Amino acid sequence: MIPYGKQNISEEDIAAVTEVLRSDYLTQGSKVPEFEQKIAEYCGVPHAVASNSATSALHLACLALGLGQGDVLWTSPITFVASANCALYCGASVDFVDIDPKTRNLCPEKLAEKLAAAKVSGRLPKIVVPVHFCGEPCDMAKIHALSKEYGFKIIEDASHAIGASHQNGKVGNCQFSDITVFSFHPVKIITTAEGGVATTRDVHLANKMAQLRSHGITRQADEMQGKTHGDWYYQQVDLGYNYRMTEMQAALGVSQMRRLDEFVSRRHQLAAQYDDLLANLPVVLPFRQPENRSALHLYPIWVQPEKRKFIFDDLRQNGVGVNVHYIPVHTQPHYRERFGFQAGDFPNAEDYYAGAISLPLYFDLSNEQQKQVVEILKQALQAA
Ligand SMILES: *Cc1c(COP(=O)(O)O)cnc(C)c1O
């Protein structure tokens, strides 16, 4: 089966991990700070805080921004559930902003309308989480301008988007947000097996996230109440978690970062080839803004909803491990039951979902495999 996404692990990656296994520190050594430094340098941002997943990084980001009971977080319905669940972990509630049918990202105009209405009803969000779907950057300048007008914080869910850039530099530079989160799950652009990172320009947010990642404990005298007792001393000043990344994961991350641009370039090559190979077929191709550089985590095509299941099953039966990104989060039973969302609440997201199929896209996908995928798709489209 050709999967829809897959990691690439080199001999150098393996050597980097085994070197850590032979060393003194498997956790809390120098590799995590080194990885954080590499991410920060790459993105052009002063601070990066690594954690054991993007899900934990999103949770830490919400906590650091003070999200709690009575607060609301808004995000896109076309995302993985983790973009919304982070608010529920904090005791806050969740609402959604429908997508732009062209970019499939959270629609800035819809956001503006919803904010104007929320201001009247007194239910403005504390945090908005734009998701760079497929690695294609959202219109952050517009969302940022709205955050100034309405006073909300911004967490970019850039789980798909390490290596992407927009008009103002690399995604992760936080020019238009408080915090940006990346994921290093094996299907994403680079991997640490499990892992995530949060970047920020704000030293206080960085310190808070680092503290909460490790039980809410500090060893810095200036963060303590009263005086330190000595070099052994630490204080728990908040309720945190164990969300730490291991040294093996960080070593893999440092090694993978060296090839990040190469990974993204190959994804662009493959996407351009898909664009050509699929040009005359009855499918809608994914959108890319010419002035952005997507990280191209996914290549989702859109087919007629009545035919989607047939085409999906046919591809799977013929060895193409297609997938669907995403089932709109508001239609998940947990969200329906908890908040009363219904089918029809976010029609653009639901229409998009009804026809979406993600084709295989990853560094090691060969041109021959790609042509084979397209041939099988052609036959499926004809038969459907
Ligand atoms: C993968 C993903 C996450 C969660 O990442 P983990 O590292 O697996 O916790 C969150 N948001 C989006 C949009 C994702 O694709």
Express each pLDDT in 341-359 by its tens digit. Answer: 999 999 999 999 999 999 9
Q: Does 170 share its domain with 194?
A: yes
Conformational region of residue 253, where left means phi above 0, alpha means psi within -120 to 50, and beta covers everything else: alpha
Residue 122: helix, strand or coil by DSSP?
A: coil
Of 240, 257, 274, the last residue of a domain is 257
Of 257, 273, 308, the last residue of a domain is 257
Beta-bridge partner residues of 200: 47
pLDDT at 167: 79
Is residue 130 within 6 Å of ligand 1 at its C-beta?
no
- Count of domains in the chain? 2
- Tally Cβ neighbours within 10 Å of residue 66: 12
Q: Whose CA is nearest to atom 2 of ligand 1?
A: 159
Q: Whose CA is nearest to atom 5 of ligand 1?
A: 54
Give per-residue burial for 228-265: e unless 16+ CB within 10 Å, then b.
eeeeeeebeeeebbebbbbbbbbbbbbbbbebbeebbe
Q: Does 284 share its domain with 225?
A: no
Q: Whose CA is nearest to atom 6 of ligand 1?
A: 54
Q: Does 83 share its domain with 138?
A: yes
Mark whether 188 is an active-site residue: yes
Q: Does 236 share its domain with 267?
A: no
Q: Which residue in 53, 84, 320 sits closest to 188, CA to CA?
A: 53
What pTM, to 2 d.p., does this model score? 0.98
Q: Does 196 share its domain with 269?
A: no
Q: Does 191 share its domain with 271?
A: no
Q: Does 198 share its domain with 57?
A: yes
Q: Does 28 share its domain with 159?
A: yes
pLDDT at 174: 98
List alpha helices for 90-156, DSSP H.
108-121, 140-150
Distance (Å) of CA 237 to CA 48, 224, 240: 21, 7, 9
* Cα 100 to ligand 1 centre (Å): 21
Is residue 196 within 6 Å of ligand 1 at its C-beta?
yes
Q: Does 79 share its domain with 126?
A: yes
Is residue 80 within 6 Å of ligand 1 at its C-beta?
yes
Of 209, 234, 257, the last residue of a domain is 257
Per-residue pLDDT of the chain (384 residues; tens, 9 = 90+): 999 999 999 999 999 999 999 999 999 999 999 999 999 999 999 999 999 999 999 999 999 999 999 999 999 999 999 999 999 999 999 999 999 999 999 999 999 999 999 999 999 999 999 999 999 999 999 999 999 999 999 999 999 999 999 977 999 999 999 999 999 999 999 999 999 999 999 999 999 999 999 999 999 898 999 999 999 999 999 999 999 999 999 999 999 999 999 999 999 999 999 999 999 999 999 999 999 999 999 999 999 999 999 999 999 999 999 999 999 999 999 999 999 999 999 999 999 999 999 999 999 999 999 999 999 999 999 999
Q: Does 196 share its domain with 325?
A: no
Q: Does 210 share its domain with 63?
A: yes
Q: What is the CATH number of the domain that holds 328?
A: 3.90.1150.10
pLDDT at 168: 76
| Annotated catalytic residue within 142, 188, 309, 378 | 188
**d(C-alpha 81, C-alpha 153), whole Å:** 20
Is residue 183 within 6 Å of ligand 1 at its C-beta?
yes
Question: Which structural domain range is residue 320 located in?
Answer: 260-383
**d(C-alpha 170, C-alpha 172), whole Å:** 6
Q: At 359, which helix (H) or strand (E)? A: strand 356-359
Q: Which atom of ligand 1 is nearest to the CA of 83?
A: 11
Q: What is the CATH number of the domain that holds 234?
A: 3.40.640.10
Q: Does 233 share its domain with 372?
A: no
Give per-residue burial for 98-116: e unless 16+ CB within 10 Å, then b.
bbbeebbbbbbebbbebbe
